Structures are given as structure tokens and as C-alpha cells.
Amino acid sequence: EPEVTQTPSHQVTQMGQEVILRCVPISNHLYFYWYRQILGQKVEFLVSFYNNEISEKSEIFDDQFSVERPDGSNFTLKIRSTKLEDSAMYFCASRGWTEAFFGQGTRLTVV
Amino acid sequence: GEDVEQSLFLSVREGDSSVINCTYTDSSSTYLYWYKQEPGAGLQLLTYIFSNMDMKQDQRLTVLLNKKDKHLSLRIADTQTGDSAIYFCAGEVGGFQKLVFGTGTRLLVSP
């Protein structure tokens, strides 16, 4: 079965630091996404990315966040100046025509 | 915006059938999805249904879609202890823009 790969699986960072979460989507997919899930809560949409640009973003995705597809295979989420409330599980997803597959997630802990 | 609701908890005995329900508000969703999340893990795509279908069967899983009532259900036949997990329904919003997730239903299967 096709697989979306995320690294690292767990990252601990100090408040105010920048983090980069990495994802390798499925190779022939064109649509890429980031979601987050605060512990015990809903899975929330952050941003969608198509044709090398953001196609939609949520209210959560403010200037603190950015996404990039630097080399045609990796898809990254950068969080600048992390806050305690950024602690969550971050999921990358990629989609072909119908099925949207998610990675195993990166658990971000801001201390 | 799209709102997706699920009951929070379902408990069944091993061997019984489980039915997990979901209601949504955006009738323009082309695809509707079911995902499974085990503790500390990612979102595993179980199945999806195209909006012009009423039913889809995939081994032990049956998805029913009632577009008039905006109601989606997932039936798991012969439920096993390994089926214990959180199940999320998700609706597509704005074409490929994003998926909106329900609150999740925690399924507990007892021997």
C-alpha cells in the first residue's frame, strides 16, 4: 500500500524556537496537506498545497506557519517561534484522485 | 463551513456488528471517508464512498450514505478486539481543498 512518511516521529522544542516538520508524500500525488490534532481533540485542517502554492489555509495557519516543497519530493511545515499551544500531533497527507493518505504523524512537544 | 458530527463512544462485544454514525452539513462533498486511529498512531484510511453511491462494501466494512439526510454510517461485521480504535468520518470540502473531520467515535470491543 502507498505510504506517506513523516520525520521526526517526535520532536521536543523550547518555546520560541523554530521547528521544521518533514513529509515525503506519495510520489504521483499532486495535492498535499497538513493537519494537526491536539491531544484528545479533533483533527484540524491547517493548509493545502497544489502546484507549488498554497490553495487553502485555515485560521490557525497564520504568519507563524509556512510550507514548502523544496525539491519535488519533500513537503515541509515550518513553525516559527513555537508556543506551548503548538504542542500537538501534526499529520501530513497526500491525495491522488480519490484517496487521501495520511502519514504516521510528528508529535511536537513545546516546553 | 462544513460541520461533521459523530457520537463519541460505542461499546460492542466481539463477534457483534458495530455501526458508527456520522452526520455532515456540506451536501457538495464528492467523497466521504472513514479513517481509523489506534492509540498514538496515524490516520489509516479504511474506505471511502463517492457521493452518487448509496452503499459500498469492502470485506467486513459496509458504508451507507443517505444524501437526503446527510448521514453516513460505517458497519463493521464480526467486530474483533483489534478493531478497538477511534473512527473518524471526513467530508471533502471545496473539491480537493481539504477534508473536514468529525469528532471521532471511540469503539471499544470486549471479548
Span A26-76, pLDDT tens digits: 988 989 999 999 988 889 999 999 988 999 999 999 999 999 998 878 999
Residue B26 has pLDDT above 90, yes or no: no
Interface residue B102 vs chain A (CB under 8 A): yes
Q: Which residues on chain B are in Cβ contact (under 8 Å) with A98?
A: 31, 48, 50
Interface residue B34 vs chain A (CB under 8 A): no
Q: Mean pLDDT over residues B49-58, rounded?
A: 94
Sign of the Cα pseudo-torsion (B5, B95, A4, A15, in order) = negative
Rounded Cα–Cα distance for residues B53 and B55 (Å): 6
Instruction: Report CB contact under 8 Å: B101, A50.
Output: no
Instruction: Report CB contact under 8 Å: A31, B45.
Output: no
Mean predicted lDDT score pLDDT of chain A: 94
CA of A77, closest CA in chain B: separation in Å? 16
Look-up of cell digits 495535492: A31
Q: Mean pLDDT over residues A17-34, rounded?
A: 95
pLDDT of residue A46: 97
The percent of residues in chain A predicted with pLDDT above 70, rounded, is: 100
Residue A99 has pLDDT above 80, yes or no: yes
Instruction: Report CB contact under 8 Å: B103, A42.
Output: yes
pLDDT of residue B107: 98
Rounded Cα–Cα distance for residues B34 and B63 (Å): 9
Higher pLDDT, B26 or A66: A66
CA of A46, closest CA in chain B: separation in Å? 9
Q: Mean pLDDT over residues B42-55, rounded?
A: 94
Interface residue B87 vs chain A (CB under 8 A): no
Instruction: Report CB contact under 8 Å: A102, B45.
Output: yes
Q: Which residues on chain A are in Cβ contact (under 8 Å) with B43?
A: 43, 91, 93, 102
Nearest CA in chain B to A5: B42
Residues 6+ apart with CB under 8 A from A33: A45, A46, A47, A48, A49, A92, A93, A94, A95, A100, B98, B99
Rounded Cα–Cα distance for residues B105 and A56 (Å): 27
Interface residue B24 vs chain A (CB under 8 A): no
Q: Mean pLDDT over residues B48-72, rounded?
A: 94
Q: Mean pLDDT over residues A11-32, rounded?
A: 95
Residue B94 has pLDDT above 80, yes or no: no
Mean predicted lDDT score pLDDT of chain B: 93
Residue B2 has pLDDT above 90, yes or no: no
pLDDT of residue B50: 92
Task: Identify whether the C-beta of residue B45 lies closer than 8 Å to the C-beta of residue B37.
Answer: no
Smallest Cβ–Cβ distance between A91 and the set B43, B48, B96 belongs to: B43
Nearest CA in chain A to B103: A42
